[in-house]
Amino acid sequence: MTATATTPAGAGVPMRGGARRLVDRVARVRELGIVVALAALFGITGAINPSFLSLQSLRDVLLNSAIVALLAVGQTLVVVTRNIDLSVSSTVGLTAFGAGVVFAAHPGAPIPLVVLGCLAGGAACGLVNGLLVGIGKVPALVATLGTLYAFRGIDFAWAGGRQVNAADLPESFLSLGTRSVLGLPLLALVTLVVLLGVGWVLGNLRSGRELYAIGSNPDAARLAGIPVVRRIIAAFVANGALAGLAGAMWAARFGTLDATVATGKELDVVAAVVVGGVAIFGGSGTVYGAALGALLLSSIGSALAVLQVDALAQNAINGALLIAAIVLDRVLALRVAAALRRRRFRDRQEDRNGGEVGGTRKVEEAAR
Amino acid sequence: MTEPIPPILALAGVSKSFGAVQALRNVSFELYAGEAHGLAGENGAGKSTLVKILAGVHRPDAGRLLVDGEPVDFTGPADAQHAGVAVIYQEPTLFPDLSVAENIFMSRQPRGRLRRIDRRAMHAQTTELCARLGVALDPQRPARGLSIADQQLVEIAKALSRDARVLIMDEPTAALSGAEVARLFSVARTLREHGRAILFISHRLEEIFELCGRVTTLRDGQWIATEPTDGLTPDDLVRRMVGRDLDTLYPKQDTAAGDAALKVSRLTREGVFTDVSFEVRRGEIVALAGLVGAGRSEVARAVFGVDRWDAGAVEVGGRRIPPGSPTAAMAAGLAFVPEDRRQQGLVMDMSIERNIALTGLASLRRGPVMSRAAERARARDWAIRLQLKYSRLTDTVNVLSGGNQQKVVLAKWLATDPSVLVVDEPTRGIDVATKAEVHRLLSDLAARGVAVLMISSDLAEVLGMADRVLVMHEGRLVAEIPRDRVTEETLMAAATGRGTGRSAA
């Protein structure tokens, strides 16, 4: 970080290109920072207890973070549009319990069909959120807080104290939760595929870039002719579908399913997204950062267990990390703004000192 | 127009109102292929509303919109874009987090296989557009932190990249340097020769004469004239815009200036404004003029303590005030009427009386609780003094017209009995009658010994009201012109950095 802080003051940096390099670096530093934090975490914990770095232990870390990371990827879609979806945990709960009920009643049901059903159910929940926010113009925080309770309420009414146990579920389904493919846990692999897919869409398709545009300046997005409402609804639906997928993954991994599945997970997801450098007011951040954030938060949990630190301390540490991430973002943003401001000012001075020469130089540069 | 070719874009009998304010009244207007058409009018005359109707942002309350002679209904900006209308807005509408290239090509990015955005092509096209405009902007740089001029150039590049049939430019030159304006005009002329239609709005009348073949004038939301610029003089145009004698509109009384009430010394906020020194004496109205983005509002905000300053000092009545404290500024006798009354001047959902009470909560208490009676008495007193038009003092301020809202802001501050009043764009977007009342009020205040610092983009207002004019250009005070020597030409020359005005002491 010190390097970033000193660069703007450094003299002799070429004008506009210099500012860009700085901004680029800061943007990359966000994800790099998490990688560094992860490396430090694994290094220190591994030094104290080498078993933490064993293949099996690393596999467990990945498996444990797979579901929250998947949810963080979906959440990023919503957050970059300057919205938020707090109802994801209830969507996970509903779809996980739904999958359990279906398998308990029809042990022979085709697994792909059930997973598709979870996706569709989640997408329906997302559609409700999307309509409330996009058409109803209800602020996302309030709308999804409402559906957080509403979906959970439906779950409770449906379950009515019932519980589906691992014994009621087909072995072929449960094995998906623990199986490894190519040395990686299957669930982590699913998350990875989704991550790469969503990352590609956000980076390379017009619709993906439009989500960033909406979050960056909603009024300008409207003036640019972007179908703002449709895009916002789509983001919520996609996030809901991914939450449904996470529900199916939850059912396969844990087996014991009742109406309280995944309660409170939404805050872990939002924390992961923020730690991962996705701006909570929209417009910037990547799904890669969000997934890394989820990995970091859940690794801390695993590391503390290995180090035999009181599990209760984990919440405090996660909280501290979250605040540190936001403070870091704010400090970086101010630094960048100040650097750009100074640079702009210097450009002008140069232009003025150069007089007409400055003007012609600019034209020549452009002509090249 | 010998052949019966219908105009590309036309309005027929269009009216539009916002709440109590009638922005356009029965306006008809035609724009033909291959012409550059000027649109003139004072602030609040309805130019921006007309632009927004053509752009599909607003829908007319009455009247029709015609494209190629056929009636159309724009339900949103996307419809206008499909009809071939591109708009450069007065306020840049950029995405700060996205790159310059993405800002220009949003939703129209060149695509390759799998509908993937072809970044290389996008950046190449951006560089090409920038070259046409004669600027060197890095296509990959984020829009955040661009200067106002560069933002405006990105807007222009965006509109050009659409290759539209109609290009509407709403004050595109306000922040540009002379060379940049010349470049823009040569691009505009080329477009016109290729049969595009251009609608050009500018406060600088000479630009309208330079670029446009015909000019339409609006006044108070009404169509006044459409005529060729040949044979028209700038004075004729001003007369059409203003429609009355300037002297009656600006009832500036002559006052004897007293001691310095506000003294600003070498005030600097890094990257925003530098080394600004001036004083305003009791009984004086000093205008702070300059182009949008020159740093005028920023100086006012810093003086009042909304933003901190990095160096320099501010003295009110001979006593220094600390930086970054509006509370201290108010205690010292400063009052500040901000530029944006809806966002900064008023709490829109609060009642008239409560808004007026906001600056005097301490004096309106009976013990720990607010006294409704005192609150009401204060509001009623000021409502009468400023001739506020309202039905009940408990109405929220958002039901009032713009002019009456501005009166509430003024009442709120005058109730603190300030020794220095800073007003930022005091008459922007308010009707002519109220405008005259505000001017009379400022004049009266000065006569009673209040020092007034007025920021205004309205040239006529500056010329009519100010005892002295300070001109800012790119964050610096570049000229100080006394009342008897200030003209539109000297002012614009200083404001655009062509610097013929005398430097401030």
- What is B9-94+146-243's CATH number? 3.40.50.300
* Helix boundaries (H) for B342-391: 352-357, 372-385
More confident residue, B460 or B448: B448
Tell me which residue of B311, B356, B329, B341 sits closest to B420, measured CA to CA: B329
* CA distance to partner chain B, nearest, from residue A99 (Å): 34
Q: Is B102 an 8 Å CB contact of chain A?
A: yes
Shortest CA distance from A223: residue in chain B: B77
- Residue B194: exposure state from Cβ atoms within 10 A (0-12, 13-18, ≥19): exposed
Task: Give, for B180, the enclosing helix (H) or strand (E).
Answer: helix B178-193
Distance from C-alpha of B306 to C-alpha of B337, rounded to nearest angstrom: 12
Task: Give, for A188, the enclosing helix (H) or strand (E).
Answer: helix A186-204
The answer to whether A205 contacts B115, with C-beta atoms less than 8 Å apart, is yes
CB A274 within 8 A of CB A319: no
Tell me which residue of A74, A34, A271 sits closest to A191, measured CA to CA: A74
Q: Give the range of the structural domain holding residue A215, as residue numbers without chain letter.
A: 52-307
Q: Is B258 an 8 Å CB contact of chain A?
A: no
The answer to whether B117 contacts A342, with C-beta atoms less than 8 Å apart, is no
CB B107 within 8 A of CB B78: no
CB A76 within 8 A of CB A273: yes
- What is B244-333+420-505's CATH number? 3.40.50.300
Distance from C-alpha of A144 to C-alpha of A128, rounded to nearest angstrom: 9
Interface test with B, best of A216, A347, A360 (most B CBs within 10 A): A216
pLDDT in tens, B31-44: 999 999 999 887 66
Tell me which residue of A175, A165, A173, A168 sits closest to A105, measured CA to CA: A168
Q: What are phi and psi of A118, to 5 degrees?
A: -60, -45
pLDDT in the model for residue B501: 41
Q: Region A308-329: what's the mean pLDDT? A: 79
In sequence order, the 6+-apart residues with CB closer than 8 A to the CB of A137 are none
Residues of A within 8 A of B97 (CB-CB) are: 212, 215-216, 279, 283-284
Distance from C-alpha of A27 to C-alpha of A289, rounded to nearest angstrom: 11
Tell me which residue of B38, B272, B88, B291 sits closest to B174, measured CA to CA: B291
The answer to whether A342 contacts B270, with C-beta atoms less than 8 Å apart, is yes
pLDDT at A1 over 60: no
> How many beta-carbon contacts under 8 Å exist across A and B?
128
The answer to whether A344 contacts B97, with C-beta atoms less than 8 Å apart, is no
Which CB contacts under 8 angstroms, 24+ apart, belong to A191-197? A191/A66, A191/A67, A191/A69, A191/A70, A191/A73, A191/A291, A194/A70, A194/A73, A194/A242, A194/A245, A195/A69, A195/A70, A195/A73, A195/A287, A195/A288, A195/A291
Interface of B with A in 423-452 (CB under 8 A): none
> What length does chain A have?
368
Interface of B with A in 273-292 (CB under 8 A): 274
Q: Pairing state of beta strands B365-366 and B369-370?
A: antiparallel
Q: Which residues of A160-178 are buried (b: 16+ CB within 10 A; e: fewer)?
A: eeeebeeebbeeebbebbe
Distance from C-alpha of A264 to C-alpha of A268, rounded to nearest angstrom: 8
Q: What are phi and psi of B157, to 5 degrees?
A: -60, -40
The answer to whether A209 contacts B117, with C-beta atoms less than 8 Å apart, is yes
pLDDT in the model for residue B238: 78
Distance from C-alpha of B368 to C-alpha of B157, rounded to nearest angstrom: 58
Q: Kindly state whether residue A20 falls inside one of the protein's structural domains.
A: no
Distance from C-alpha of A200 to C-alpha of B171, rounded to nearest angstrom: 39
In sequence order, the 6+-apart residues with CB closer than 8 A to the CB of B193 are B34
Q: Kindly state whether residue A7 falls inside one of the protein's structural domains.
A: no
* CA distance to partner chain B, nearest, from residue A246 (Å): 28
* CA distance to partner chain A, nearest, from residue B50 (Å): 15
Interface of B with A in 49-68 (CB under 8 A): 55, 57
pLDDT in tens, B155-172: 889 988 988 899 999 888
Tell me which residue of B190, B198, B172 sits closest to B31, measured CA to CA: B198
CB B441 within 8 A of CB B426: no
Q: Kindly state whether residue A21 falls inside one of the protein's structural domains.
A: no
The answer to whether A341 contacts B81, with C-beta atoms less than 8 Å apart, is no
Interface test with A, best of B120, B128, B141 (most A CBs within 10 A): B141
* CA distance to partner chain B, nearest, from residue A245 (Å): 25
Q: How far is CA A217 from CA A103, A137, B12, B103, B273, in A?
A: 46, 17, 33, 11, 26
Confidence of residue B502 (pLDDT cuts 50, 70, 90): very low
CATH number at residue A209: 1.10.3470
pLDDT in the model for residue A347: 60
The answer to whether A16 contacts B136, with C-beta atoms less than 8 Å apart, is yes
Smallest Cβ–Cβ distance between B474 and the set A204, A209, A348 belongs to A348
* CA distance to partner chain B, nearest, from residue A6 (Å): 17
Q: What are phi and psi of B110, to 5 degrees?
A: -60, 140
pLDDT in tens, A309-318: 777 777 788 7
Smallest Cβ–Cβ distance between A19 and the set B97, B141, B474 belongs to B141
CB-hemisphere CA count at 13 Å for A343? 26
The answer to whether B98 contacts A279, with C-beta atoms less than 8 Å apart, is no
pLDDT at A348 over 60: no
CB A271 within 8 A of CB A314: no
Smallest Cβ–Cβ distance between A340 and the set B108, B145, B272 belongs to B145
Tell me the sheet residues that pair with B71.
Answer: B66
Residues of A within 8 A of B145 (CB-CB) are: 19, 336-337, 340-341, 343-344
CB A259 within 8 A of CB A73: no
Shortest CA distance from A358: residue in chain B: B179
Residue B197, phi-psi category: left (phi > 0), alpha (psi -120 to 50), beta (remainder): beta
Q: Region B282-297: what's the mean pLDDT? A: 88
The answer to whether B117 contacts A204, with C-beta atoms less than 8 Å apart, is yes
Domain total of chain A = 1
Q: What are phi and psi of B327, to 5 degrees?
A: -60, -45
pLDDT in tens, A138-152: 999 999 999 999 999
Shortest CA distance from B162: residue in chain A: A224
Q: Kindly state whether residue A103 falls inside one of the protein's structural domains.
A: yes
The answer to whether A337 contacts B272, with C-beta atoms less than 8 Å apart, is no
Residues of B within 8 A of A213 (CB-CB) are: 95, 98, 102, 106-107
CB A249 within 8 A of CB A66: yes
User: ipTM of the predicted structure?
Assistant: 0.80
Q: How far is CA B425 from CA A180, B51, B222, B338, B435, in A?
A: 68, 22, 23, 8, 11
Confidence of residue A323 (pLDDT cuts 50, 70, 90): confident
More confident residue, B243 or B340: B340
The answer to whether B145 contacts A227, with C-beta atoms less than 8 Å apart, is no
Residues of B within 8 A of A348 (CB-CB) are: 147, 474-475
The DSSP call for residue B195 is T
Confidence of residue A24 (pLDDT cuts 50, 70, 90): low
Q: Kindly state whether residue A316 falls inside one of the protein's structural domains.
A: no
Shortest CA distance from B131: residue in chain A: A366
Q: How far is CA B79 from CA A135, A210, B52, B332, in A?
A: 20, 18, 13, 53
Confidence of residue A366 (pLDDT cuts 50, 70, 90): very low
Kindly report which listed range (A83-97, A305-319, B123-137, B392-406) carries the lowest average pLDDT score.
Answer: A305-319
The DSSP call for residue B421 is E
Confidence of residue B487 (pLDDT cuts 50, 70, 90): confident
CB-hemisphere CA count at 13 Å for B347? 12
Kindly report which listed range (A111-125, A226-240, B293-307) carries the lowest average pLDDT score.
Answer: B293-307
Residues of chain B with CATH 3.40.50.300: 9-94+146-243, 244-333+420-505
pLDDT in tens, A106-163: 988 999 999 999 999 999 999 999 999 999 999 999 999 999 999 999 999 999 888 9
Q: How far is CA B383 from CA B370, B388, B442, in A?
A: 20, 5, 16
Q: Is B98 an 8 Å CB contact of chain A?
A: yes
The answer to whether B95 contacts A220, with C-beta atoms less than 8 Å apart, is yes
Q: Which residues of A48-74 are buried (b: 16+ CB within 10 A; e: fewer)?
A: eeeebeeeebbbebbbbbbbbbbbbbb
At residue A245, the 3 state secondary structure works out as: helix
Q: Determine how many CB atoms are found less than 10 A away from the CB of residue B279.
A: 18
Q: Pairing state of beta strands B468-473 and B476-482?
A: antiparallel
Interface test with A, best of B91, B98, B111 (most A CBs within 10 A): B98
Which CB contacts under 8 angstroms, 24+ apart, belong to B339-348? B339/B297, B339/B424, B339/B425, B339/B428, B339/B455, B341/B402, B341/B405, B341/B406, B341/B409, B342/B405, B345/B405, B345/B406, B345/B409, B346/B397, B346/B405, B346/B408, B346/B409, B347/B397, B348/B396, B348/B397, B348/B398
CB A291 within 8 A of CB A303: no
Report the Cα–Cα distance between both ends of chain B, in Å, rounded. 56
* CA distance to partner chain A, nearest, from residue B247 (Å): 38
The answer to whether B95 contacts A340, with C-beta atoms less than 8 Å apart, is no
Q: Is B304 an 8 Å CB contact of chain A?
A: no
Interface of B with A in 24-53 (CB under 8 A): none
The answer to whether B107 contacts A206, with C-beta atoms less than 8 Å apart, is yes
Highest mean pLDDT (candidates A30-34, A135-139, B239-243, B487-491): A135-139
At residue B335, the 3 state secondary structure works out as: strand
Smallest Cβ–Cβ distance between B136 and the set A222, A352, A362 belongs to A362
Confidence of residue A290 (pLDDT cuts 50, 70, 90): very high
Residues of A within 8 A of B147 (CB-CB) are: 344, 347-348
In sequence order, the 6+-apart residues with CB closer than 8 A to the CB of B354 are B347, B375
